[in-house]
Structures are given as structure tokens and as C-alpha cells.
Structure 1
Amino acid sequence: MKSVEVTNLGIALGHGAKAVNILPDVSFTVEQGECFGLVGESGSGKSTVLRCISLLLEHWRGTVKIGGASVRDMGVIERCRTVQMVFQDPYGSLHPRHSVRTVLYEPLRIHNLDRRQERMEQALRDVGLPISFLDRFPHQLSGGQRQRVAIARALILEPDVLLLDEPTSALDVSVQAEILNLLSDLRARRGYTYILVSHDLAVVDYMCDRFAVMRSGEIVEVLDRAALENNSATHDYARELISASIAYDRAS
């Protein structure tokens, strides 16, 4: 697995005087095999960072390196084999007319990988789904099962880095726990490097080794997981965010 280094990442939307600088200057590093979180309120730029890293957004400035290699210098095939993304909405990320077999087969065909049936079956086993699900369609799956398929699709190319964009926020609470346990177990067994976007600090506490607090497109502080226990953040906004989360958890 590989490390991730983001340096002076910035992006503006629009042109000329109407351009809006939604990410002014973001820098952070993620160690090999680490789960690194990005937290903050809606609109703080968390998901935008993931879309820049994956080149779903291309017109950004700065550098992003995975294992020391710039993502811009990687060919499409190499980049897709290096980094994959799991999206927030399991209902929108799967084509409604494509079976699970098609969803998993397509990346294997594009990348010309062998043992395709074996790889598809193993991918389903890895995410805790029966082989018979290969011939099911998204409308025949629950939200949690769809997200497991989305994770299997991301893992089938054996990437080094997984970008997780609120992977459980659209799911029921009981299903959220199942998916988080699955992701934690996969990282323990395979050593994946994760970058996890979440607004839920309980998820960050469970999954992440370190996390960055974002506000208005900027990282205000990078903290260890232990900072959540006694709210040892030094930046005012980070302290307020953690305090609000702790108060909410106690109230619920």
C-alpha cells in the first residue's frame, strides 16, 4: 500500500471576477496503511478534496502524490489501479440496469485482468455477499448490500488507496455499523490506505488514526484520534465542532 501527500491543493470554480476559490490551499499527508479523516460542516470542501485527488475534478492547482508519484503523471490505467473511490449514495452510484456481474466485470475487462469469474466471486466474498448476488440488479438489493457492491467494485482492481466519501451516511444506523466494521476489517487484513470524509465524529473516532478539521475550504487543524476524548484541539472552530459532537452524543 502507498502513502498520500497533498500539497497546496486549491481549486476555483467560475471564471474571471466571478471565480470562487472553494479550496484556497490544502496540505496534508497520509501514511501508508493509515486511515485519515476529513471532517467539517457541509460545504467545507471535504468531498471536493477527494474529487481532486481522484481527478474527477481536473482543474486544480498544487500537487497530489501517491507513493511519491504525481497523480497527474499517471496514466488512466495506472491511476485507477492505484486509487479508487466509494461514493456517498449507494442508490445513485450503481447503474439501475446493470447487474452486479456487469458492475464487477467491467473494470476487469477494461484493465484486461485474467481469472475474471474467480476475481468477481472473491470480491463478493470479501464484502460478505453470497456469489448468487452476481445475477442480482440494484433494485433487488438493500442500501447496505448496494454499498457492499460499491466497495467490491472499488476493491476488485486491488488499489493501494481508497477514498471514502461519507460511505455510511445514507444508510440506517444498524447497517452503518456493518459497513464500518467491514471497512475496518479490510484495512486490517489488506493494509489499505484510507482517506475518509465524514461529518460524524463517532465514525472518525472508530475508523481514523488522525483527522483534519476543515472550514471554508481550509484545514484549520490536524489531530490524533485521542483529541476526541478530551477535546484537546487548539483551534477555536475545531474545539467547538468536537464539543458540539460530544454534547449531541450525550443527549442522544
Structure 2
Amino acid sequence: MKPVAIRDLCISFGAVQVLHDVTFDVASGESFGLVGESGSGKSTVLRCMSMLQAQWTGDVIIGSQSVREMPLNARVRTVQMVFQDPYGSLHPRHSVATVLSEPLRIHGLDRQRARMEQALIDVGLPVDFLERFPHQLSGGQRQRVAIARALILEPEVLLLDEPTSALDVSVQAEILNLLARLRSEKGFTYLMVSHDLSVVDHMCDRFAVMQAGRIVEVLDRAAIPSNAATQPYARDLIAASLAYERAV
């Protein structure tokens, strides 16, 4: 798997600058979190990395190559993204087989049926789900299909944009444990956006705290229980999360 380096990432929407010189590193095979309040720029970082937003400055380097310099086919084989909403990320009129076969067809990969079946097995779904449509699936099953779609091209970096926040609490742990298992088995490099520090504590080796489009502090996961942050905003964010956990 490949490391990721973000260097001086900036983007503006109209007159509003959304990201300000965002810089951090993710080691090969590491799970790295981005946390912060809504509007802090977390998801925008992922959209820039995946080139869903292209009008940014700075650099995103995967391995030794800038994503801007990668041919499109190579980039999408290297980086895939799992979105927040499992209800909006799948076409309602496309079967699971259609969802999974399209990237295989576009990239001219062989053994398409076998690859689709293995992708479902990897995410814990029966192979006969290939014939189902999104309306026949629960939210957790839809998100498993979305993860299978991201996995089927065998990427090295997975971008996870709050992959459990739209799911019932009872299903969230299943998806998080699935993602943890897949990383252990396949060695993915993860970059995960989350509002929930308990998710970050469970999933991530390190995390960056963002505020108003800037990186405030980068911390190890071990900093959460003891609130070892040094910057005031990061300390306040962790303290609020710990207080909420105690109250619950």
C-alpha cells in the first residue's frame, strides 16, 4: 500500500476560502482521521484528494506521484471513496450486479462475475445479492455494496466520508468492524472523516483536528482518553466528546 502526503492544500468557492494550506502525512497502511465541526473542511479534503473537486492548489502525493499527474484510469484504480449516504450513492434502478460490473467493464478487467462475487463475500453479503436492487436492501447492506464497489478495483487508498453516520447505531459497529477487518486483511491506507471521536478512537492510528479549513493539531489516538491535545480548540473538542460519552 502507498503513503499519502498532503501539501499546502487550498481551495476557494467563490470569494470564500474553504481550505487554508492543509498539510499532513499518512503512512502506508495507516488509518488516519479528520475530525472537526461541520463546515471545517474535512469532506472537502477528501473531494480534493479524489479530484471530485479539481480547482485547488497545493499537492496531493500518493506514493511518489501527484494525483494531478496520474492518468485517470490509474488514479481511480489507486484511490476510491465511500460516501456518507448509502441511500444516495447507489442508483435506484441499477441492480447490485450493474453497480459492481460497471467499473470492471470500464477498466477491461477479466473474470467479472468471479470478481463481483468475491467483492460481496469480502463485505459479508451473499452472492445472490447481485440480483437485488437498492430498495430491497437495508441501509447497512447498501453501505456494504458501496464498500464492495470501492474495493472491486483493488485500490490502495480508501477515502471514507463518515461511512456510518447515516446508519442506525446497531449497524454502525458492524460497518466499522468490517472496515477494520478489510484493512487488516488487505493493508489499505485509510483516510476517514468523522464527527465522532469514539469512531476515530476505534478506527484510526492518528487524527488531525480541523477548524475553519485549517489543521489545528495532529494527534495519536492515545491522546483521546487523556485529552493530551495542546491546542485550545482541539482540547475543547476532545473534552466535549468525552463529556458526552460519560453522559451517555
Q: Which residue of 2 aligns with 1:107?
A: 103
- 1:33-182 alignment to 2 at 5 Å? 33-182=29-178
For residue 22 of structure 1, give the secondary structure of its aligned residue in structure 2: strand
Output the aligned Cα RMSD.
Answer: 0.3
For residue 154 of structure 2, give the secondary structure of its aligned residue in structure 1: coil
1:79, 1:204 → 2: CA distance?
A: 26
Give the share of equivalent positions with the same residue, in percent: 73
2:141, 2:170 → 1: CA distance?
A: 13
Instruction: Note if 1:192 corresponds to 2:188.
Output: yes
Deviations 1:23-58 (A, max 9, x none): 011000000000000000000000000000000000
1:4, 1:173 → 2: CA distance?
A: 31
1:91 deviation in Å?
A: 0.1
One-letter amino acid of the structure 2 residue matched with residue 77 of structure 1? N
Hey, which bits of structure 1, 4+ residues long, moved more than 6 A? Answer: none
1:68 deviation in Å?
A: 1.1
Q: Which residue of 2 aligns with 1:12?
A: 12
One-letter amino acid of the structure 2 residue matched with residue 26 of structure 1? V
1:70, 1:92 → 2: CA distance?
A: 30
Instruction: Note if 1:237 corresponds to 2:233.
Output: yes
For residue 212 of structure 1, give the secondary structure of its aligned residue in structure 2: strand
1:224 corresponds to which of 220, 223, 228: 220
2:204 corresponds to which of 191, 208, 214: 208
Q: Which residue of 2 aligns with 1:183?
A: 179
For residue 11 of structure 1, give the secondary structure of its aligned residue in structure 2: strand
1:229 deviation in Å?
A: 1.3
Gaps of 5+ in 2: none
For residue 93 of structure 2, give the secondary structure of its aligned residue in structure 1: coil
For residue 178 of structure 1, give the secondary structure of its aligned residue in structure 2: helix
For residue 223 of structure 1, give the secondary structure of its aligned residue in structure 2: strand
After TM superposition, the score normalised by the length of structure 2 is 1.00
For residue 174 of structure 1, give the secondary structure of its aligned residue in structure 2: helix
For residue 163 of structure 2, give the secondary structure of its aligned residue in structure 1: coil
1:197 deviation in Å?
A: 0.1
One-letter amino acid of the structure 2 residue matched with residue 13 of structure 1? F
For residue 84 of structure 2, give the secondary structure of its aligned residue in structure 1: coil
Instruction: Note if 1:3 corresponds to 2:22.
Output: no
1:219, 1:100 → 2: CA distance?
A: 38
2:57, 2:222 → 1: CA distance?
A: 33
